[in-house]
Amino acid sequence: MTLSWALSDWRMLIKSSGGIAKRFARFGLEINTEKTRLVRFGRPSRIGGSGEKPETFDFLGFTHYWGKSVKGNQVVKKKTAAGRFRRTLQAIKEWGMEHRHLPMKEQQRKLNEKLRGHDCYYGVTGNIRMLSRLRYEVAKLWRRWLQRRNRSSSPNWEKFQGMLRVFPLLPARIIHSSMQ
């Protein structure tokens, strides 16, 4: 659970009678104590002069961290959480191992559906690097499936790049821009 309150408000709520658990119970909610923690996430320039970096945290499949905007301002950025990235890649890998017998056109269509679906959720401003990395990893997996399909003429990377020109993967796309 992520709550965005001032530290003093948070401490007061915990110390008050019954604390936050009682308050949440009124709405039929529970706090998972294993996942709930207090994160030091203030602006980097405001966390004391010691040059201490703020913590990062994962929420809803994104890792939230402080970064600089194009104009040089401090902004909260989001990128795909490492665990979610691995899980997505693993699901695509398992799908490919089961369906490597399909024609190339059908494999391309299905892979592009999966990538488009991933972009619809994770395609946020500042996450283009992780979206592009997913495409690179999916291309490597696809080549590996094709190598296992026909051992006599396994495509090397150059030959596979030629195949990608005929059966391209969709480019990474930001769907949810914060600039609009």
Q: In this predicted model, what pLDDT tens digit does every residue of 104-147 receive, in sequence order?
A: 999 999 999 999 999 999 999 999 999 999 999 999 999 999 88
Quick check: 124 and 78 in contact, CB under 8 A?
A: yes
Q: List, for residues 72-113, the tens digit of each pLDDT value.
A: 888 899 999 999 999 999 999 999 999 999 999 999 999 999
Q: Which residues contact 2 (CB under 8 A, 6 or more apart)?
A: 57, 59
Instruction: Report how far residue 33's alpha carbon sits from residue 129's, in angstroms, rounded to the nearest whole number.
Output: 33
- What's this model's pTM, rounded to 2 decimal places? 0.79
